[in-house]
Amino acid sequence: MPKTQLSPSLKTALMLASVVIILAGIKTASPVIVPFILSVFIAIICNPALNWLTTRRVPKGVAIGLIISFVVLAGMWLANLVGKAVNDFSSQLPAYQAQLTERFGGLSNQLAEYNFPVELNQLTEYFDPGAAMNVVTMIVGGFGGVMANLFLILLTVIFMLTEASSFPKKLHVALDDADMRMAQIDQFLLSVNQYLAIKTMVSMATGTIIGLVLWAIGLDYWVLWGVLAFLLNYIPNIGSIIAAVPAVLLAVIQLGIGWAGGVVALYLVVNVVMGNAVEPRFLGKGLGLSTLVVFLSLIFWGWLLGTVGMLLSVPLTMILKIGLESNNSTRWLALLLGGEEQSAS
């Protein structure tokens, strides 16, 4: 019986229909998928520490116990500090809004003297600390909702770390490569591990530097702004702007416009140095994404997986790009996702 050949247009339609069905399934199952994705990211980030401990003859079970204990204690400490800061900031919000109105009243009068009249209500609407705090609450609350499944996430991480050493071999066998001849698989796994580990370390350094400098100048809730800078550093360009807005607004209210300008400079310097000097040195120049892809991935993963999808949008897109680069037939797609430096090389 002769095989029926599908036309190219029908193949394309079937492929698009399959993608829509898969995405609909992922969105429907996001309450289960999001904790699993977080577990994968935590396990990948913790894997270098596990390898470091096991190479120093620490038993694997003890090493996993130490890592999980550190993650739990650090997470509880951080959640306590951030939660307290969010609650305190919310309680102080009316006082901050009154101070902001007072400061902008003088600014409005000065602008009127130079024949540039601006209504006070317009200024307070554009620079509303309550609106900025809503963004912070949404981000922290999104993670808090997922962390309600903390026990499930930690249990999944433990099992993943236990089988981390055997996973590459299983992947080779699953893809009919029992003789370990497909170097693309190993390169893909290595690149994903390196990217997530380095990106996390750079993000931690970014959050730590910003938090300590804000503490040094006396800005309130510096721990909250440092954590926000750490989380949003996973989103290049856009994330640093979102992270800076509430800290700058609070600096205007608490310290004055001059210090607020210094806070803006702090965020600019730290993100430029980390994004243009530190990250390319460790990750390589060809691993970046175009600004358009970053923005579209933020919208897409946010729609698909919620707040956690927004924060992990760039790492998820980077994993997709690394996977496309590992295959010659899909490398052109990875090139479309890349930045200007990669397309020029």
Q: Is residue 199 part of a domain?
A: yes
At 111 the pLDDT is 55
Number of domains forming the structure of the chain? 1
Closest CA to 83 of 143, 40, 39: 143
**pLDDT given for residue 240 in this prediction:** 78
Residue 14 lies in a domain: no
Residue 301, in any domain of the structure: yes
Q: Given this model, what pLDDT does residue 139 score?
A: 61
Percent of the chain beyond pLDDT 70? Answer: 69
Structural domain for 191, as ranges: 31-344
pLDDT of residue 213: 92
**Mind listing the pLDDT tens digit for each residue in 226-278?**
888 888 887 766 777 788 888 887 887 788 778 888 889 999 888 888 877 77
The residue among 161, 149, 171 whose CA lies nearest residue 35 is: 149
Of these ranges, 57-66, 90-99, 291-300, the one predicted with the greatest mean pLDDT is 57-66
Tell whether 338 is covered by a domain.
yes
Scanning the structure block, which residue is given the tokens 């729609």?
A: 303
pLDDT for residue 136: 61
pLDDT tens figures, 264-302: 999 988 888 887 777 777 765 555 667 777 778 888 888
- The pLDDT value recorded for residue 121 is 56
Residues forming beta bridges with residue 256, ordered by sequence position: none
pLDDT at 23: 82
The answer to the question of residue 11 being in a domain is: no
**How many angstroms separate the CA atoms of 252 and 256, rounded?**
5
Contact (CB, 8 A) for 255 and 220: no
Judged against a pLDDT cut of 50, whether residue 88 lies above it is answered with yes
Residue 1 has pLDDT above 50, yes or no: no
Q: How far apart (Å, rounded) are the C-alpha atoms in residues 267 and 245? A: 10
Contact 157, 69 (CB under 8 A): no
Distance CA(343)–CA(160), nearest Å, equals 36
Establish if 23 belongs to a structural domain. Answer: no
CA nearest neighbour of 244 among 222, 272, 263, 231: 263
When pLDDT is cut at 50, 70 and 90, the band that residue 212 belongs to is very high
Q: Is the pLDDT of residue 36 over 50?
A: yes
- Asked if the structure places residue 15 within a domain, the reply is no
Residue 24 has pLDDT above 80, yes or no: yes
Q: Which residues neighbour 330 within 8 Å (Cβ) at sequence distance 6 or greater?
A: 323, 324
The confidence band for 124, taking pLDDT boundaries of 50, 70 and 90, is: low
DSSP letter string over 51-95?
Answer: HHHHHTT--HHHHHHHHHHHHHHHHHHHHHHHHHHHHHHHHHHHH
Mean pLDDT, rounded, of the chain: 75
- Which residues, at least 6 apart from 115, have a Cβ–Cβ distance to it below 8 Å? none
Single pTM value for the model: 0.69
Q: pLDDT tier at 203 (50, 70, 90 boundaries)?
A: confident
